[in-house]
Homo-oligomer: A and B are copies of this chain.
Amino acid sequence: MANVLKPKTLKGFKDILPQEALVKTQMLDTLRGVFRTYGFVPIETPHLEYTEMLVQETAEDEVGKQLYRFEDNGGRDVCLRFDLTVPFARYVVQHRQELGIPFKRYAIANVFRGEQPQFGRYREFTQCDFDIVGCETGGADAEVVQVIAAALQALGLKRFVIRVNNRKVMNGLASALGVSDAAIPEMLRIMDKFDKIGTASVQEQLQSALSVSLEVAQQLVSFATLSAGTPNELLKQAAPYKEKSELLAVGLQELEDLFAILQSIEAIQENIAIDFTIARGLGYYTGIVYETTLSDMPEIGSVCSGGRYDNLTQNFSKDPLPGVGASVGLDRLIAALIKQELVAEQRSSTELLCLIMDKALTASVHAMAHSIRKKGVVTEVYPEAAKLKKQFQYADRNGIPFVLIMGEEEFAHNTFTMKNLQTGEQESFSSLDEVLSKMKAASVDV
């Protein structure tokens, strides 16, 4: 035998164990169901792309260090995708004729970023994005917000708020107050920190970083922190600022139109709000932006964020293709669902384990398991005639609630012995239907 290697995953990468994979599979199932209900269709793009498709030469400094970039065997400059948005821009331009516009897609897939590994953050992770491209105004933005709400509700989450803003509002105000376009990204970065550092520090940082007067910094902060109760009241409170900037006025109008639609849907009223401090870091947003926080777990940050990007395809086409979309934070949601006990963290979904008491009975047990599965019960057969202790340990370890114990005796007399591992109760039955009824009754009790 050759050398034995110590098995290990690559630095910054992780395996997913069954407990987590089961929760993730169930969650993605629910999300796919919601996307489907709203008419979004799945697409896939390759994990590997020509580097020039994903990063512009000028942008290499920023993201370059995080890229998994190499030469393939044919000498091509390639890299692993770092998000699902840039490949989507390429995809939608490349297949524009076949897809038609508008186009609504979702994608659930892994992306790669060579960041410094941190607790709970890995260099490969799953993103879940959905987008509508080809519409400049109207219902598309509203639909994305509805899908976020429907998705979280379908997962069983009730107490969450989708906080909405419009880039045009703060950008318009900043320009009107003399902040240069070049300084706006820095302004947004600082504005993103109201929750963390407080109003006074934001104002101080704005003044120094943007080199503006105290008065300008005060005006930016006092607008951002407007906080009248309902969205309509807040829009009314902000209305006087419209005369300061045309762009700001357009932004407020878009928010007004958006909320007119959102407020027509009773079921999401508790889940929507306007918040002028929402900035979203990414450069490509141009209009409406949103973040979603769980009211009982604000510390985990936004679980679903997105917005409108009207220039995303500009690297691939002179014909602009405006879009709006959002990205679901799967890892944060998994943590939330587990903490709020909305999913069971289980080792398997098996309901019944059929033991093999004797090798000679293997065929009979397999046949019986087959007929039980046909009745809709998730049924395993222990894979060999091992010691009974080992077979029971398997059930225990995997949290399987019931075992069916069929020895020669049982097969000879056509009886069925079933043990409830939660109560320890073992009973004999005269038909399979009785066994299943008992299992059902016992599961309801639990």
Contact = CB atoms under 8 A, between A and B. Distances in A.
B5 A316 contact: yes
A32 to B, nearest CB: 7
A173 to B, nearest CB: 27
Q: In the complex, which range does the number of interface residues on chain A fall in?
A: 35 or more
Contact of A18 (B15, B18, B42, B382): B42
Interface stretch (A69-77, A207-215, A238-246): A69-77
Contact of A46 (B6, B15, B132, B137): B15
A197 interface: no
Question: How many identical subunits does the complex contain?
Answer: 2
Given A264-B364, A363-B263, A356 B139 contact: yes
A437 interface: no
A136 B384 contact: yes
A373 B139 contact: no
B8 A53 contact: yes
A43 B25 contact: no
Contacts of A378: 36-37, 39
A7 B49 CA distance: 11
A365 B139 CA distance: 10
Interface string A60-85: 00000100101111101010100000
Contact of A112 (B48, B91, B95, B98): B48
A367 B46 contact: no
Contacts of A142: 362, 366
Interface in A371-400: 373, 378-386, 393-394, 397-398
8 nearest A-B residue pairs (beta carbon): A138-B384, A39-B380, A70-B70, A16-B44, A264-B367, A140-B383, A7-B94, A13-B46
19 contacts: A2-B314, A2-B315, A4-B317, A7-B91, A7-B316, A9-B46, A10-B49, A10-B50, A10-B76, A13-B46, A16-B43, A21-B42, A37-B378, A41-B349, A47-B124, A70-B70, A74-B114, A139-B383, A143-B366
Given A9-B49, A37-B378, 4 more contacts: A10-B76, A15-B43, A21-B43, A139-B381
Interface of A: 1-2, 4-11, 13-18, 21-22, 24-25, 29, 32, 36-39, 41-50, 52-53, 56, 58, 65, 68, 70-74, 76, 78, 80, 90-91, 93-95, 98-100, 102, 104-105, 110, 112, 114, 124, 132, 134-140, 142-143, 146, 257, 260-261, 263-265, 267, 314-318, 347-350, 353, 356, 359, 362-367, 370, 373, 378-386, 393-394, 397-398
